[in-house]
Chain A
Amino acid sequence: MNATTSAHSGRILVIEDDDSTAEEIVAELTSHAFRIDRAGTGNEGLALALQGGYDVITLDRMLPDIDGLNVVGALRARRIQTPVLMISALSDVDERVRGLRAGGDDYLTKPFASDEMAARVEVLLRRHAQASEPTQLRVRGLVLDRVAHNAFYGDLDLDLKPTEYQLLEFLMRNSGQTLTRTMIFEAVWGYHFDPGTNLIEVHIAGLRKKLEQAGCPALIQTVRGSGYLFGPI
């Protein structure tokens, strides 16, 4: 899977005072075909964000002039709902909670892997684009019933355990997007530490096995060095 081939028309605002971090973010997002504007201070960023027209904002928590929390707060107070990915050197759980409570949509700690950052931006972009969440998700004959909390392939009930259902739901809701292990762990289990490589791997393997047993084509792909992706090849 080659990232540069997936075409986006999303506009991203990067608010980041540290040059090397900003360059990294810009480079990675450009390679994902986003259009980027960069602001080096909180005021500049806030001014750009208030003009609107951005699909996602990445926001450094520690800016020289205004605290990142206040930037989000100011945006939300003016009813600007552009999704915000907070990026911070403060990895404490309390800081994450504060960031999300202030109006951030996701939280990433420095230093981060740039593919992880890009994956999170894409998920935010997608989530924002889906105005309403359908009660059923369908991919190639695989049906996820979000009311009954189960999944079918054809007429066959996959008989998923609650965790397997949540995993499949997260994958299908973000189908076509790379999801890192950390993102999966956060979304399905709700915890924010490093789950280690194998842990998510075996859960994915279990889900794949259930899909395979039901005769479903292989829909969960491993993205080398990154994570997983749901969707037809």
Chain B
Amino acid sequence: MLAELWRITSFRLTVLYGGLFSLAVVCLFALIYWQTARYQNQQVDQILLNQAHVFSTATTGELDKDIAYEIARDIRHIGFFGVFAPDGRPLAGNLACVPRELVLNGKPQALPVNRNADLFAQALEVRALGKTLDNGDVLVVARDVAVLEQIRQSLLRGCFLIAAVILLLGVLGGVFYSLPAVRHIREIDRAARRIAEGDYSQRLPLGIRNRELDALAQIVNAMLDETERLMGEVKTASDNIAHDLRTPLTRLRASIYRTQQSLEDLSPHHAALDHALTQTDLLLTRFRALSRISEIESKRRRAGFSPTPLEPILRKLVGLYEPLANQGDVRLTLGVASDAIVDCDGELLFEAIGNLLDNAIKFTPAGGMIRVGLDVDEAGPVISVADSGPGIPSDLRKSVLQRFYRADEARNVPGSGLGLSLVDAIVRLHGFGFVLDETSEGGVCARILCRQQRPLR
């Protein structure tokens, strides 16, 4: 889901903007803090300089009093004062000793608080000034600048809070704006898959907010309209040819038949007319198969569908095809490992498996065997027809489903090249899977996977 969202440009943009805004907020706060700190320091420094000036110009007697006065006046206890003898002994004020690391140059400076924790009990940051008085004593004036620290902390807290809120709003906004796009893209994906599977009646859906995507989808849809129209024309043309040719062919066959009937029984023309009849029948069979495939392909209803047990169908099929197999010295066996009942058109399924058996019998040499099986895998019942024939090379397995496709090796075997197309059409109508595989002996293993799902059309 997150990965999917991340692929949406609008989501990435919103998150990026959110991030940039947060960064800007952090910078802004940093600037405010820096400015405030500078101002505050200047203020404190001024106070320190003033006090130092007052104290250093006072006489010794006045100094004690001045310091005591300052201490008394400092009700917030942020001021620290001290006068020390040159040997470091405190003479006046509230400091026990000269703060460590204080440079006695008369300039305000920041004091490392951690080094002087004993002196400034609860202070967080201290600025101080130290100077040597004319009489050799050392004067120290210091001030707790805790206010600055408080400002800094609240600024930092505010800064991070606001940055987080902006980032969160950015992500939420991104999700809000991108979810429809994600959903839209999913729908497009689904439609595109079905189109790729051959359902040209599908169109890419249009979204609500995503104009670029919609524009693209509309272009693709227009292309699909055109493709569907062209394909429809080709299909209609070939269906019409098949249909229109069937009628005159049927009449042709009828007149050949009648001519033959009117011949004397011993007429030498019988053989020639027999041949003509056989060829006409062959043509008619092909056209009939072609019409049948397009009929099944255009079938949208599932009126003939009902829950059907598969085993009786297979038994009937084996009974029907066994004599044909035996005639070619091929053994036909049935292995049923399931009592599956499947929602299907039993008659069409019978026809499909019959075609598979017909193929298997044609291509299995004498002494071979054909195994019809009904098993169950995770996805549902599986009907298989496996033969001991020469098999189909893997690169041809897709081609054999095409109409009229015949492998070079199969040219001398009678047939129309339509059998597997018909099987494919029936399987697709059911929404089942059709797999052409190899048996361990190299023969063909055709499997119909009766997984129960929505059919394509």
Interface residues of A (CB under 8 A from B): 2-4, 24, 28, 31, 91-94, 110-115, 161, 163, 189, 191-199, 202-203, 205-206, 224-226
Contact = CB atoms under 8 A, between A and B. Distances in A.
A225 B347 contact: no
Contacts of B350: 191
Interface in B318-377: 319-321, 323-324, 327, 345, 347-348, 350-351, 354, 358
A113 B254 contact: yes
A28 B253 CA distance: 13
A3 B258 CA distance: 9
Q: Main secondary structure on chain B at its contact with chain A?
A: helix
Interface stretch (B91-99, B198-206, B281-289): B281-289
Contact of B291 (A91, A112, A205, A225): A91
B254 A114 contact: yes
Interface residues of B, number: 42
Given A113-B253, A206-B323, A225-B274, A192 B247 contact: no
Contacts of B295: 91-92
B251 interface: yes
Contact of A225 (B247, B257, B289, B320): B257
B261 A112 contact: no
Interface string B417-447: 0000000000000000000000000000000
B319 A111 contact: no
The 5 closest A-B pairs by CB, nearest first: A111-B250, A202-B323, A111-B247, A114-B254, A225-B277
B316 interface: yes
A232 B351 CA distance: 35
B323 A224 contact: no
Interface in B399-413: none
Interface in B217-248: 246-247
A227 to B, nearest CB: 12
A73 to B, nearest CB: 20
B288 A194 contact: yes
A202 B327 contact: yes
B7 interface: no
Instruction: With a 10 A CB-CB cut-off, give which of A24, A31, A113, A161 has the most chain B CB atoms.
Output: A113
B260 interface: yes
A31 B253 CA distance: 16
6 contacts: A2-B261, A28-B254, A91-B291, A91-B295, A115-B254, A189-B316
A110 B292 CA distance: 13
A19 B181 CA distance: 61
Given A31-B258, A91-B295, A92-B295, A194 B250 contact: no
B254 A193 contact: no
Contacts of B320: 163, 189, 199, 203
Contacts of A205: 323, 327
Contacts of B319: 161, 163
B268 interface: no
Nearest to B357: A199
B261 A193 contact: no
A191 B347 contact: yes
B304 interface: yes
B248 to A, nearest CB: 9
B303 interface: yes
B304 A93 contact: yes
Nearest to B316: A189
A24 B316 CA distance: 37
Nearest to B325: A202
Given A94-B303, A202-B327, A113 B351 contact: no
Nearest to A203: B323
Given A194-B285, A224-B274, A225-B277, A111 B246 contact: yes
B315 to A, nearest CB: 11
Contact of B251 (A24, A115, A203, A206): A24
B270 to A, nearest CB: 8
Nearest to A197: B281
A226 B303 CA distance: 33
A199 B291 CA distance: 21
Instruction: With a 10 A CB-CB cut-off, give which of B246, B257, B291 has the most chain A CB atoms.
Output: B257
Contacts of B301: 94
Given A4-B262, A93-B304, A224-B277, 17 more contacts: A4-B261, A24-B254, A94-B304, A112-B250, A114-B250, A114-B254, A161-B319, A191-B351, A195-B354, A199-B321, A199-B324, A203-B320, A206-B323, A224-B260, A224-B270, A225-B257, A225-B277
Contact of B261 (A3, A192, A203): A3
Interface string B73-102: 000000000000000000000000000000
Nearest to A198: B324
A114 B258 CA distance: 10
A226 B291 contact: no
Contact of A192 (B251, B258, B291, B347): B347
A115 B323 CA distance: 27
Interface in B255-307: 256-258, 260-262, 270, 273-274, 277, 281, 285, 288-289, 291-292, 295, 299, 301, 303-304
B304 A226 contact: no
Contacts of A31: 258
Contacts of B250: 111-114
B440 to A, nearest CB: 29
A114 B281 CA distance: 13
B247 A226 contact: no
Contacts of A163: 319-320
Nearest to B285: A194
B96 to A, nearest CB: 109
A198 B292 CA distance: 20
